[in-house]
C-alpha cells in the first residue's frame, strides 16, 4: 500500500505518518487490509526532523503546481491524507494565497486522484470553520454550512468536491472537520486559533503569552494525540457507515479560554499561569467568534472517534509528548 500525506512535513502530518508506521497496515477503498510499503510526505518545505524509516519518502514543491502533484502520484496511491492548507488567519489576510492553496490545490489533487487506475481512499482535513451564523447549540452533524471567513469557505467548497467525486466513484472520500488542535509545539503560526497553544506552550517555557480573546470565549479543541487517532478512524470507516454526506464533525472538548488558563494553573502552578496576559485583538476575535464551540458529533462517535476527557489531560499530553527538555 502506498500512502500520500500532503502537509506531511508539518506537525500533524509527521505525527500521523509515525502512527501509521506503528500500525503497518491500512484498509484500502475495496475494504482490504493491506501492509504499508511507502508513505510519501509531500510539503512545500522539507521537514525539520526526518523520520528514519525506509518506508518514508519525502517530496517538496508547490501543491498548486500540476508538476508537483503529478510527480507525487506517478507511482500511484492507495490512500491520501490531504492535510496541507494555508491557516485561517493567513487565508483571511491574503485572499489569493488562501484560494490558491486551500481551493485550487485541493481541486488539483482530487483531479489527479480521479485519474488513478483505482479509486483511492481519501481523508480531507476540513474544519469546523465551515459553520457560522445562527446555529443550534450544540451543532448537529447536518447543520447547514455558513462559513463567515475565507478559510471556512475554502474548506466548505473542498468538502462538496470530496462528496461529489465520491458520489461519482472517482474516490472514496471523507471530510473530517477537525477541532482546534492544541497544544502544538514550536513557534506561533498565523492561524487565528494559534493562541490556544501559545497560552500553554509559552508559559510552560517561562515566556509571557498574550491571549487575544476574552476569557469567556469557548472553543472546540482536541489534543494532537486524539486528532491523529480520529484521522485514522475516519480513514478506516467503511463506505457503508456514511449516508447522504461524507463530512464528519470530529469529537472534541468544549472549553472556555479562561478554563484553559485555570487548567494550566492546576497542572503547572501559579508561577506558570501568571505568564498569560489578556490582550484583546479585534481581528483575531472577529474570526474566532464566528466558530461554534459546542457540537453533537453523532456520526463521529458512531465511527468510534472520541474527544479528550478534559483540558488538564491535553496539557499533560503536551508535556509528555512535545514539551522541549532542557
The residues spanned by each domain of the chain are: 2-179+223-249
Measure Cα distances from 15 to 115, 265, 282 in Å. 29, 28, 33
pLDDT of residue 171: 97
pLDDT of residue 270: 97
Contact predicate 127/102, CB 8 Å: no
CA distance 141 to 298: 7
Instruction: Give the full edge-to-edge strand order of the sheet including 56-60.
Output: 56-60, 38-43, 2-6, 79-82, 121-127, 172-178, 247-249
Per DSSP, the residues of 96-130 read: HHHIIIIIIHHHHHHHHHHTSSSPPEEEEEEEGGG
H or E segment at 211? strand 209-211
pLDDT at 251 exceeding the cut of 80 = yes
CA distance 160 to 163: 5
pLDDT at 305 exceeding the cut of 80 = yes
What's the rounded mean pLDDT across residues 255-284?
A: 96
Picking from 273, 161, 269, 144, the residue whose alpha carbon sits closest to that of residue 207 is 273
pLDDT of residue 291: 83
Q: Read off the C-alpha cell for 131.
A: 459553520
Q: Read off the C-alpha cell for 22.
A: 506503528
At residue 77, what are phi and psi to the nearest 5 degrees? -160, 130
The fold for domain 2-179+223-249 equals Rossmann fold (3.40.50)
Q: Is the pTM of this model over 0.85?
A: yes
pLDDT at 286 exceeding the cut of 90 = no
CA distance 152 to 130: 4
pLDDT of residue 326: 67
Concerning whether 318 is annotated as a catalytic residue, the answer is: no
Q: Kindly give, in sequence order, each residue whose CB lies less than 8 Å from that of residue 107, ignoring residues fewer than 6 positions away.
A: 161
Measure Cα distances from 323 to 113, 121, 159, 201 in Å. 37, 34, 34, 8
Q: Read off the C-alpha cell for 284.
A: 483575531
pLDDT in tens, 82-112: 999 998 889 999 999 999 999 999 999 999 9
pLDDT at 252 exceeding the cut of 70 = yes
Average pLDDT over the chain, rounded to an integer: 95
Q: How many CA atoms lie within 13 A of 307 on its CB side?
A: 23
Q: Read off the C-alpha cell for 269.
A: 502552578
Contact predicate 266/184, CB 8 Å: no
Higher per-residue pLDDT: 67 or 192: 67
- Among candidate residues 151, 163, 280, 318, the one labeled active-site is 151
pLDDT in tens, 151-210: 999 999 999 999 999 999 999 999 999 999 999 998 887 788 899 999 999 999 999 999
Amino acid at each position: 500500500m502506498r500512502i500520500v500525506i500532503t502537509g506531511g512535513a508539518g506537525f500533524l502530518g509527521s505525527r500521523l505518518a509515525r502512527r501509521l508506521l506503528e500500525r503497518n497496515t491500512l484498509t484500502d477503498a475495496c475494504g482490504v487490509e493491506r501492509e504499508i510499503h511507502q508513505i510519501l510526505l509531500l510539503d512545500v518545505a522539507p521537514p525539520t526532523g526526518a523520520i528514519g524509516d525506509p518506508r518514508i519518502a519525502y517530496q517538496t514543491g508547490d501543491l498548486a503546481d500540476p508538476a508537483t502533484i503529478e510527480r507525487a502520484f506517478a507511482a500511484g496511491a492507495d490512500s491520501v491524507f490531504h492535510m496541507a492548507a494555508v491557516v485561517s488567519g493567513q487565508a483571511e489576510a491574503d485572499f489569493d494565497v488562501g484560494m490558491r492553496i486551500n481551493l485550487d490545490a485541493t481541486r488539483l489533487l482530487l483531479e489527479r486522484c480521479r485519474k488513478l487506475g483505482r479509486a483511492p481512499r481519501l481523508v480531507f482535513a476540513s474544519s469546523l470553520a465551515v459553520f457560522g451564523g445562527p446555529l443550534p447549540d450544540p451543532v448537529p452533524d447536518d447543520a447547514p454550512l455558513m462559513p463567515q471567513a475565507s478559510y471556512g469557505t475554502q474548506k466548505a467548497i473542498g468538502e462538496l468536491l470530496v462528496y461529489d467525486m465520491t458520489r461519482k466513484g472517482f474516490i472514496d472520500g471523507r471530510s473530517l472537520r477537525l477541532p482546534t488542535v492544541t497544544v502544538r509545539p514550536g513557534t506561533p503560526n498565523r492561524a487565528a486559533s494559534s493562541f490556544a497553544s501559545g497560552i500553554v506552550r509559552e508559559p510552560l517555557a517561562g515566556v509571557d503569552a498574550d491571549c487575544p480573546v476574552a476569557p469567556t470565549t469557548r472553543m472546540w479543541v482536541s489534543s494532537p494525540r486524539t486528532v491523529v487517532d480520529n484521522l485514522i478512524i475516519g480513514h478506516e470507516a467503511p463506505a457503508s457507515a456514511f449516508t447522504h454526506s461524507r463530512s464528519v464533525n470530529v469529537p472534541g472538548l468544549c472549553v472556555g479560554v479562561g478554563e484553559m488558563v485555570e487548567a494550566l494553573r492546576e497542572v503547572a502552578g501559579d508561577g506558570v499561569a501568571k505568564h498569560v496576559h489578556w490582550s484583546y485583538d479585534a481581528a483575531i476575535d472577529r474570526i474566532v467568534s464566528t466558530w461554534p464551540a459546542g457540537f453533537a458529533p453523532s456520526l463521529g462517535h458512531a465511527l468510534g472517534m472520541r474527544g479528550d476527557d478534559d483540558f488538564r489531560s491535553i496539557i499533560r499530553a503536551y508535556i509528555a509528548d512535545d514539551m522541549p527538555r532542557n
